[in-house]
Every structure is written in C-alpha cells, then in structure tokens.
Amino acid sequence: MYLTFIVFLPLAAAIIAGFGGRVLGDRGAQLVTCGAVITSAILSIFAFYNVALGHQPEHVVLANWIVSGGFKVDWAIKVDTLTTVMLVVVNGVSCLVHVYSVGYMSHDPHKPRFMAYLSLFTFAMLMLVTADNFVQMFFGWEGVGLASYLLIGFWYKKPSANAAAIKAFLVNRVGDFGFALGIFGIFLVFGALDFATVFAAAPAMAGKSFTFLDHQVDVLNTLTFLLFIGAMGKSAQLGLHTWLPDAMEGPTPVSALIHAATMVTAGVFMVARCSPLFELAPGTLQFVTIIGASTAFFAATIGLVQNDIKRIIAYSTCSQLGYMFFALGVGAYGAGIFHLFTHAFFKALLFLGAGSVIHGMSDEQDIRKMGGLFPYMKVTAILMWIGSLALAGIGIPGIDLGFAGFYSKDIILESAYAAHSSVGFYAFWLGIAAAFMTAFYSGRLLFMTFHGHSRADHDVLHHAHESPQVMLIPLYILATGAVLAGFVFYEFFVGHHYAEFWNGALTVVDENVLEHAHHVPFWVKLLPLVMAVGGLAISWSFYIDNVPKWARLLGLVAALGIVGAGIAQGDGGLILTGVAALVLALVFYFGRTGAPGTLVASNQALYQFLLNKWYFDELYDTLFVRPAKWLGFQLWKKGDGKVIDGYGPDGVTAAIGFVARRARVLQTGYVYHYAFAMLIGVAALVTWYMLHSGGGH
Amino acid sequence: MIEVPALLPALPEIILAIGALALLMLGVFTGEKSLRTVSALAVLLLLAAAAAVLPGYRDTVVTFGGMFVSDSFGGFCKILILLGSALSIIISVDYLERENLKRFEYPVLIVLATLGMLMMVSSNDLIALYIGLETQSLALYVMAAFSRDSARSTEAGLKYFVLGALSSGMLLYGSSLIYGFTGGTSFSLIAAAVSGSGPVPIGVLLGLVFVMAGLAFKVSAVPFHMWTPDVYEGAPTPVTAFFAVAPKIAAMALLVRTMFGAFPEISDQWQQILVFLSIASMVVGAVFAIVQTNIKRLMAYSSIGHVGYALMGVATGTPDGVKSVLVYLAIYLAMNVGAFALIIAMRRKDGATESIADLAGLSRTRPAMAFALAIFMFSLAGIPPLAGFFGKFYVFIAAIEANLTFLAVIGALASAVSAFYYLRIVKVMYFDEPADAFDVNTGRGITAVATVSALVTLLFFVFPAPIVGAAAYAAQSLFQ
C-alpha cells in the first residue's frame, strides 16, 4: 500500500499545485509539493529497508491497462532492490531539490507551475522505475521526457531556453524511436511485454537469428541494440548527447534533479533492468562498453575548456554516465548502479552548489568572471569542494577510505580491467584518462570560482552573499551522502553482500566480473587515485599563483616513491603508475598560471576543437537540421503551398470562381435566351433518349 | 341523372375555394384598409384547410371519376403547403404596409394559388394536373408583378408569365403525346399501358421528357431555372418568400406523384432525366450563387441547389427516397421561411435593402437577428447538428442505398462549394465592420416566425421522429 503512495503522492501534488496554484498561492503550492515528495522520500527509505535490506521484493498490480487479444499490459508497481535504489535516489534528490527550489526560485513569478512540473517529473520517473513491463516503463520514459522539456523551457520567454527544450525533445525522440522499435520487437519475438515473461523466455532465444535484407541477424543483439539506442538518447551518450549541455538553460534545480541525478540515469537503469536480455547479447554489450568509454573520455575533454559553471558540470555528468555504461557493458551491473547511486549525491550537490553560487552572484555563470569567492560564500565553497573531491574519486586505496566517488568509480575501472577483454581494456584506459581530466576540470572550476583573485564586477561582488538555509540544508544532506554513501553501501552494491542485496534483480550469465574486480593488482587501484590527485594538483598550479614550493616537491617525492616501490617489488604495472605519477608531478612542479594560455596558444586547433565540443552540433546541423529544414521548407512552400493548396483548396476555389464569373454572363435577362435554354434542355434530353432507349418505335 | 362525386376527400380544396371567394367579397366591400383583416382571415382559412386534411389523412380515396386522389402522401404535402402559405402571409403584412402595397388581393391570391397547389398534389390525371398547375400559376404570375408601379416587379411578372406559358405548352404537348400512345389521361391507365414488358414506345418517352420539362420549370430545376433569379430579385420580397416555399413543395410533390403514379414501371427511364436534372441543379446552384451580391438572387440559386438535392431523392425511385424528399421538403420549409422572414426584415429608414453588404456587422447592431440568420445559413449549408444536415443526410443515404453513390458524392461536393456562400454571409455579419443599423421595428409576425423556425431548425435533431415517421408513412402510400 505504501508503495502506491510513493508513486502517486507526487502526481497528486503536481495536479493540486498545477491546477490549483492560483488558489493555493505560492506558499501553498510549495508546501503541497514539498510535503508530498518528502513523504514519498521517507516511504522510499522505508521501502529500501524492507525490500533491499529485508530481501522482500514486492509486486503490486494496480489495474489492467490494455487487454487486447494476446496483448496484455498492467499498471503495476514492481519493487525489487534495483527499484528501491532508484526510489531512494529519485525521491531523495527530488525532495531535496523541491526544498532547495523554494529558496532558489524565490524571485520567480511562476512558483506553483515550477513546483508542479518538478512533482510531475518525480511521478513520471517513479512510474519508470517501478514498471513491471516495457509499456509502463515507456510511459514513464516519455513522461520524464515531457517534464524535462517543460522544465528546460521553463523560462519560456528566453529564446535560447525554448530552443534547448525543443532540442532536448527532438534528440530524445531519436532515442525513443529506437526504444519503441525495441519494444515492438520484443512483443513480436516474445509475444509479451511484462518483464517476468520476457526475461524467462530470453535464454531460449539466445543465439537465434532472423533474416533482414538477406542477412542473418541475431535476435537478442538486435533487440538490445534498439533498447540501448533509447538509453543513449535519455542518458546523453556519445552521438545523442548534444541536448544535455543545452539543457542547462533550465533553472539550476532542474539541472540537478533531472539532468544529473535522475532522468539521465534512466538509460543506465533500463539496461540494468534488462540485464537478462543484455547478458545474452554479447555484441550489444561490447557496443555499450565502447560507447560508454568513448563518452566518458570525450565529454571529459570538452569539460576541460568550458567556462560556464553549469556546462562544466553538465559535461562531467555526460562523462560519468559513460562510466556507468561501460561498467554495464563489461557485466558489472552492480558497479554501474553503485556509481549511479553515489553520483546522484555528489552531482546533485555540485549542481545545487553551482546554483548557490549563481544565486549569490546575481545569475552570473561564467567562471572567468568569478574568482576569490571563498570569503563570501564559505559554506557553499566547502560543500563544492566535497562534491568535487567525491567526483574526482579521492580516497586511499590501501585502507579503502574515501569519498563516495572513490568507491564507485574505482570498482568500475577495476571491473573494466578485470574483464580481460579488448573492449574492457579500451574502457579501462579511456576511463583512466577521463579520471585525470575529471579531476583537472573539477579543480579548475573550484580554483577559478572560489580562489585566487576576483575577476567579478564590483557591483556583483558587492552583492555576493551566502545562500539562505533553505538552500543550504539540502546541500548538507547531499554532502553527507557524497562523503558516506560509498563507504556505507560498498559491500552491498558490489561487495560481500552482493548476492543477497540484489536478490536476483540483476542477472549475470557468466561468472561475475565483480568477483575478479576485487582481485586486480594494486596498481589498478592506485592509478585512478594518481590521476585524480595529479589532475587536482595540476589545476592548482595552473590557476593559482602562490602554490607553495613544498607542495610541488611533495608531488615529486610521492611519484618517485611509487616508482621506487614498483622497482622494489618488480611490479611492472606499479612502475608504470609511478612513471605516470612522475610525469604529472613534473607538470605540477613546473606548472604556472600562464601555462593554460601558452597551451591554448600553441594548440589553437585542438583548443577550438574542444571548445566547439568536437563540432558535433555543427555536424548535426549540416547533416540533419539544415536538410530537414530545407526539406520542410520545400514541402511547405512547394508541396503544401503550391501543389496541395494550389491544386486543392485554392485551385478549386479559383476555378469555381472563374467558372461562376464566366457563367454569370449566361444570365442575360432576356426572355428569349431563357426560353432557348429550356428548349436546348429538352432537345438534349430527347436526343439522349433517341440514342439510348433500347429501340423504341 | 348526374352522379354526384364524393366531395369529402376534397374538403380542404373546397374550403379554400369558397373561402377565397368570400375573402374577395369582403375585400371588395371594405376596401384597401382591410388588408390586415383579410390576411388574418386568410391565415385562419389556411389553417382550417390544414385541419380538414387531417381526418382523411390515413386513407387513400379516389374521387371525381378517378381524377382526384386523397392519400397520406398528399396529406403530408398539403399540410406543408398550407403552413408555408400561412407563414408567408404572416411575414408579409408589415412589409406590404410599409412599401405601400397595401392591397387585400394579396392574401386572396395566396389562397387561390394554394388551392391550385392542393389540386396539383392530389391530381391523379393529366387534365387535373394541368388545371391545378394553371390555377396556381395564374395567381403566381399576378403576385410576381404585384408591385405594379415597379419596373422590376412587372418585368419579373411578365418573364415568369411568358416562360411559364412556354413550359405549360411543353407540358401539354407531352401530355398529348402520352395520351396518344397510351390512350388515357388517367395516371392509372397510363401506368397500366406502360407496365407491359418490352420496349417503351418512344412517343411515351418523348411525352415524358416534355412533361418533365414542364414540371422541372415549376421546381426551377436546371436548365429550366433561368427565370428563377430574375423573378426572385424582381418580385417584392414577401412574394419571393412565398415563391421559394409553397410552390416548390407543391411542384415537387406533383413531380413525385406523376412519376410514381403514372410511370411506376419505367422508373429506370425517368431516373436518367432526374439524375441529370439533379446534378445540373446542384452544381449550378452551388457555383452561380458564389458571385451574387444580392441576397434574393443568392437565395434563388440556393433554392435551385436545394431542388437538386430533393430531386436526388426522387431519382432513387424507392420509398426511402420519397421519404427523404418529404423530410427534405419539411426542413426546407422551416429554413427558408425563417431566412426569408429575416430578409424581409432587412430595412432601413429609406426602405428595404437586399444587398449582402448591408448585413455587415449585424452581429453588433442586431445580435439576435444575426444569430438567427446564422442558424439558417449554417442549416442551409448542411452543418450538423442543424436540421439542414439531416435533410441532406436522408437524401444521400437513400441515394447510396439505391446505388446512386456518384450522385451522393456530387451532392456532397456541391454542398461543400455552397457552404462557401452561406458561410460568407455569416462572416459578413460577424467579422465585417458594421454598416448602418437596420430598422429596429421588425414586426411581431416576422419575429415570431423567425424565432419558431430557428428553434425548429436548431432542435430538429433532438426530436426528429414525428416528421421522419410521418414522412415514411406518407411515402408508403405511394407504393400500394
């Protein structure tokens, strides 16, 4: 029963606040929506305790939705460990964002609408994660897409916001098309759409193929590939990622909730949910790994050079989603979901922290116009530091103590390494590179925003202020999660309690790669940390003038220590790690604030390439947008205007008008003309009968 | 010893004949100022005749040596005609008084014309047909020229008379051919003569063509319609209103009666003519009306188009077809009387106006009038759920069931074209800048008639059963 409340309280709140906003007023709408979602969040924790920790999955059928011949779909709430994890993430972040929005949107005239959209989004996301069949999942999938569209375009008077909203919707449409085709295919192949039936029948279909255009195509590979296209759109993976950075046009709480913590992870969730299918489709899994790893790398490179505080975090999100996907791709579903879980905390924290900065800086988002803000907003700065350290994955590998991202990101990289496949290594090395870049851009963001000299306007700086408590309290909670979530839940998600925690919610066909992940060489665990520390250190030396000499030397010493340890143990991997550390330490040692400018000047082409986001938008603009616009314009002007209107309504109208004007002349007013017409009529009829009556006499 | 025929079946006609003479006497003795009295009495007379129709409604009785038939088909049509005539008088009186046409002959002529119509509806013989037709027509010729000081009115009357004489000539010529080839004038004799198997004599077919040409003139079917716009425009507006309703119904009933009474066995022959007339009327009615600027001319083409739809029902040759025609005529009566009542009400201080442009902005100056006229226009265009839609609906259904789908398709297309000019009037009333306001004093008669017919048009779909049921019953009497 309480499960129903979890899902439907946000819907009720959305309806009440959305349609009754005028009656309730701003405060009333905020109370209703926040109250509903907080209640939902508390119940979700309860559900997590019952289902995930108490090992009691629940399945509630609410109603039959569609019954048509063999086609049967229910409204249902399926709650297993995977769902409860999502419930906690969704409702947890959602309720914090609801509360935060009360402060953040305090100057906005349309508060009830905003709160209603947020609650509507929450409902749709909950429908998605509690679905027990593909159709309900698709309902939620489209619902979150709608809510995302509405919220990105919330400030509908801004043309850029409208454009971003439309772009998000259209790009997602491409993915959704794949997802829908996948669902159709599943129904075609399995004759059912509920997870239980499909997953049970899946092993029998393994290795089967069908003929498509004279080629034998593997059934499950095709279906899962189509499903993954949907996931790529929703989770902004390479190729279909272009909407996510633009989506930052929406209010910052929206970015935190939808475009960092929850909706964009729907693709990850869907692949994990369909693990029984994906596990039987090795081709798709390889594809997932490659796409995920490439996205992790690609988005991180762009994050290096962005100047908009929200866009940096947006590319970071894109990159981290890539990590999650390649974890899924190598079969480490638990690791992927674990990263989803921890990422929700620190990425929401970062976004809301960025929102706090923006709020305090009179809506300034360009980090080049910030700097030295630490004294003005100490709390926000510290919280952002916590979030960034968690994102960078700082922790101590030997004794396993660190921020949340340390646990989840490392287990992903270890899994990729442990997969011992070519795609696994591809993912591992790109992941390592991305880890360095992640740390670097995180450090860049922090140093350029909070430290060094201020580059802000005097007026802005004069008004710079710390955010109110209603905005900071959600940040405290998220920061707690960013620090502790990894440490507390590591054993459940990917460690010793894996089997009983997941309780069959995730399927792995071959031996579990996570088992091997725990037994990778030490250097595999150390290397990500080296990268993270190195990235932070280098950004420090690049963006802050007075880095103390001892720190620079310490870097060199530590690196040399690793090399030494490697040589002593005769461990090639460790030596390699040490050499990498040494390189980074040298860069750190010689790094000065002029370095970024020099680098940019000497690598102008690369810089432009990254700054312009690998020219993806330009490419799509040329390949798709312009031709589509051209085609549309042609169809409109020529197809519709000239042909259909011209020969259709307008043509007929003109012809009839023409005939009518001409024929009017016949009506002369002369009696003998009229009489003549009558006689012609009679003559014509008589002639007709003369010719046609069957031989009269 | 002369046998006296049964008179009772002809009671309505007898009432009208005696009543008309009495009213004439009354008028002659009381003079011009008696218009209102005579009109009121004429309306009562027509209603009394309608009441006299009712007792014999269910039975089919033939009298006057087989020349006269009284049945429920005739009864249905007679009631429509009598109602149409009575309403025409009601909406005319104010106009006649204002336009200085205050003559008591007007209602008397309507009663006489109505007498002719009832005789047409009941005719069961070519001779009776002709007498009824001429009784009606002679009165109508006079009415068209009623405003005798107006050149347009007299021209209209003269044109109508000359062309009407021509059509009468055709009708008589056709009758004589039919008589010559069948040996009888009675419908039952003719029916018996042409029912045999084997080819139909060409002489009968020629006769049929000429008779139908004469009748087509009366219903103003294309190509025998050319008089209609000129006469509608030239005649005083109340006369046009009368022309548009009662004589149309009578002539259509006569056509049905003749076809189904005298030529039931060769329906496949006359069907061809009717299909042609129907298509031509629908198309011409739709297309020509587009360029009209005078609302009376527009209504003339509108009535030509509507005749086309009604002819479609006749062309089916089935009971359902006849039923659909009767329903159509009943709805046509309501729509047209209402629309013409409002057209008569179009007047300013300096006199009556007839231009569509004068309706501009009527929704702001006279919202109720504009709304009522909009209802009639939408209904004439056949927009659901107004009555006009159902009229067309039944006709189209009958045509499709009689395998005349192409006819229904053409009808639907013509209907779409005609919607243009009906809706243009609505557009002019609702979206154009207001012209000078009309005279506020519309007159109670017109207001009442317009209100009632608007309600009937608007609410027909709520309770269509009485009219549709009666029409089905009436249609059945032709097929016994």
A589-624 pLDDT per residue, tens: 888 888 888 888 888 888 888 888 888 889 998 998
Burial of B349 from C-beta contacts in 10 A (0-12 / 13-18 / 19+)? exposed
3-state secondary structure of A435: helix
Beta strands B61-63 and B68-70: pairing type?
Answer: antiparallel
Amino acid letter, residue A476: Y
Q: Where are the alpha helices (DSSP H) in A363-403?
A: 378-392
C-alpha A326/C-alpha A320 separation (Å) is: 10
Measured CA to CA in angstroms, residue B260 lies from A507, A566, B61, B171, B201 at distances of 82, 114, 17, 17, 18
Contacts of B290 in chain A (CB under 8 A): 656-657, 660
Distance between A634 CA and the closest CA of chain B, angstroms: 29
DSSP secondary structure code for residue A694 in this structure: T
Measured CA to CA in angstroms, residue A23 lies from A26, A28, A34 at distances of 9, 9, 17
Cβ-defined contacts of A156-162 (< 8 Å, 24+): A158/A249, A160/A249, A161/A249, A161/A250
| Average pLDDT over all residues of chain A | 90
3-state secondary structure of B132: helix
Residue located via tokens 């360029």: B291
**Assembly ipTM:** 0.88
A48-79 pLDDT per residue, tens: 998 888 888 889 898 888 888 888 888 999 99
Least Cα distance to B363 among B422, B449, B420, B426 occurs for B426
Residue located via tokens 């509690």: A130
Interchain CB distance below 8 Å, A696 and B290: no
Mutation to test the A interface, candidates B197, B275, B276, B291, most A Cβ within 10 Å: B291
Contacts of A662 in chain B (CB under 8 A): none
A101-156 pLDDT per residue, tens: 999 998 888 899 999 999 999 999 999 999 999 999 999 999 999 999 999 999 99
Residue located via tokens 């710079």: A464
Distance between A669 CA and the closest CA of chain B, angstroms: 7
3-state secondary structure of A59: strand
Least Cα distance to A86 among A267, A239, A230, A232 occurs for A267
Contact A47, A1 (CB under 8 A): no
A284-297 pLDDT per residue, tens: 999 999 999 999 99
Residues of chain B with pLDDT under 50: none
Distance between A667 CA and the closest CA of chain B, angstroms: 7
Query: What is the full DSSP assignment across A113-139?
Result: HHHHHHHHHHHHHHHHHH-SBHHHHHH
Which residue numbers of B have CB closer than 8 Å to A's CBs?
A: 158-159, 162-163, 166-167, 170, 199-203, 205-206, 209-210, 212-213, 216-217, 222-224, 226-227, 229-230, 269, 272-273, 276, 284, 287-288, 290-291, 417, 420
Contact B281, B250 (CB under 8 A): no
Q: Please give the share of chain A, as a percent, with pLDDT higher than 70.
A: 99
Distance between B64 CA and the closest CA of chain A, angstroms: 33
What's the confidence (pLDDT) of residue A338?
94
A77-113 pLDDT per residue, tens: 999 999 999 999 999 999 999 999 999 998 888 899 9
Least Cα distance to A485 among A549, A570, A390 occurs for A390
Residue located via tokens 């100047």: A307
Measured CA to CA in angstroms, residue B40 lies from A119, A329, B338 at distances of 73, 96, 19
Task: Provide the pLDDT confidence category of residue A547 given band limits of 50, 70 and 90.
Answer: confident
Contacts of A656 in chain B (CB under 8 A): 287, 290, 417
Residue A57: is the preceding peptide bond cis (ω within 30°)? no
Contact A385, A472 (CB under 8 A): no
* Token pair for B161: 């008379």
Beta strands B347-348 and B351-352: pairing type?
Answer: antiparallel
* Token pair for B339: 């629309």
Residue located via tokens 């390189």: A583
> Which of the residue ranges A208-212, A340-344, A426-430, B246-250 would you say has the lowest mean pLDDT?
A208-212
- If you average pLDDT over residues A375-403, what whole number do you get? 90
* Token pair for B131: 């007498």
Q: Is A144 left (phi over 0), alpha (psi -120 to 50) or beta?
A: alpha
Nearest to B226 among A653, A661, A674 (CB): A674
Distance between A693 CA and the closest CA of chain B, angstroms: 8
Q: Where are the alpha helices (DSSP H) in B265-294?
A: 267-288
For A689, nearest residue in chain B (alpha carbons) = B205
Contacts of B201 in chain A (CB under 8 A): 696-697
For A660, nearest residue in chain B (alpha carbons) = B288
Amino acid letter, residue A41: A
What's the confidence (pLDDT) of residue B2?
67
Helix axes B267-288, B237-262, angle to 10 degrees: 160
Contact A576, A567 (CB under 8 A): no
Determine which helix (DSSP H) or strand (DSSP E) holds A542, and give its type and residue range. Answer: helix A522-543
Question: Which residues lie closer than 8 Å to A50 by C-beta, 6 or more apart?
Answer: A56, A58
Residue located via tokens 């519309």: B442
State the sign of the Cα–Cα–Cα–Cα dihedral B44, B48, B345, B296: negative
3-state secondary structure of A652: helix
Measured CA to CA in angstroms, residue A425 lies from A417, A422, A532 at distances of 6, 5, 19
What's the confidence (pLDDT) of residue A697?
44
Amino acid letter, residue A366: D
Q: Is the pLDDT of residue A571 over 90?
A: no
Least Cα distance to A357 among A390, A383, A393 occurs for A383
Q: Is the pLDDT of residue A514 over 90?
A: no
Mutation to test the B interface, candidates A689, A690, A691, most B Cβ within 10 Å: A689
C-alpha B170/C-alpha A446 separation (Å) is: 104
Distance between B116 CA and the closest CA of chain A, angstroms: 24
3-state secondary structure of A696: coil
* Token pair for A488: 């507390």
Residue B236: is the preceding peptide bond cis (ω within 30°)? no
C-alpha A415/C-alpha A429 separation (Å) is: 12
What's the confidence (pLDDT) of residue B278?
95
Give the Cα-Cα-Cα angle B310, B315, B319 (nearest 5 degrees): 85
DSSP secondary structure code for residue A66 in this structure: E
User: Within 10 A of A298 (CB to CB), how many other CB atoms are there?
Assistant: 24
Query: What is the full DSSP assignment across B315-333?
Result: HH-SHHHHHHHHHHHHHHH
Measured CA to CA in angstroms, residue B232 lies from A154, A309, A575, A694, B106 at distances of 62, 80, 109, 41, 17
What's the confidence (pLDDT) of residue B1?
57
Task: Provide the pLDDT confidence category of residue A390 given band limits of 50, 70 and 90.
Answer: very high
DSSP secondary structure code for residue B201 in this structure: P
Which positions 301-320 of A are in contact with B (Cβ < 8 Å)? Answer: none
Q: Is B361 left (phi over 0), alpha (psi -120 to 50) or beta?
A: left
Mutation to test the B interface, candidates A662, A672, A676, A685, most B Cβ within 10 Å: A685
B473, HSE (Cβ side, Cα atoms, 13 Å): 14
Contacts of B216 in chain A (CB under 8 A): 681
Burial of A70 from C-beta contacts in 10 A (0-12 / 13-18 / 19+)? exposed
Q: Is the pLDDT of residue A30 over 70?
A: yes
C-alpha A397/C-alpha A171 separation (Å) is: 40
Which positions 655-694 of A are in contact with B (Cβ < 8 Å)? Answer: 656-657, 659-661, 663-664, 667, 669, 671, 673-675, 677-678, 680-682, 685-686, 688-690, 692-694
3-class DSSP string for A246-315: HHHHCCHHHHHHHHHHCHHHHHHHHHHHCHHHHCCCHHHHHHHHHHHHHHHHHHHHHHCCCCEHHHHHHH
Determine which helix (DSSP H) or strand (DSSP E) holds A234, and give its type and residue range. Answer: helix A219-234
Helix axes B202-219, B126-144, angle to 10 degrees: 30
3-state secondary structure of A235: coil
What's the confidence (pLDDT) of residue A696?
44
C-alpha B294/C-alpha B152 separation (Å) is: 14
What is the separation of C-alpha A27 from the centre of its chain, rounded to a whole number of angstroms? Answer: 31
- If you average pLDDT over residues A481-510, what whole number do you get? 87
3-state secondary structure of B7: coil
Task: Provide the pLDDT confidence category of residue A694 given band limits of 50, 70 and 90.
Answer: low
Q: Is the pLDDT of residue A252 over 60?
A: yes
* Token pair for B424: 């243009």
Task: Provide the pLDDT confidence category of residue A454 given band limits of 50, 70 and 90.
Answer: confident
Helix axes A522-543, A378-392, angle to 10 degrees: 140
Count of pairs with CB atoms under 8 A, one residue in A, one in B: 88
User: Within 10 A of B347 (CB to CB), how many other CB atoms are there?
Assistant: 21
Contacts of A697 in chain B (CB under 8 A): 199, 201-202
C-alpha A231/C-alpha A273 separation (Å) is: 12
Task: Provide the pLDDT confidence category of residue A474 given band limits of 50, 70 and 90.
Answer: very high
Q: Is A79 left (phi over 0), alpha (psi -120 to 50) or beta?
A: beta
Interchain CB distance below 8 Å, B205 and A689: yes
Distance between A137 CA and the closest CA of chain B, angstroms: 42
Contacts of B227 in chain A (CB under 8 A): 674
A397-443 pLDDT per residue, tens: 877 788 999 999 999 999 999 988 999 999 999 999 999 999 999 99
Contact B333, B84 (CB under 8 A): yes
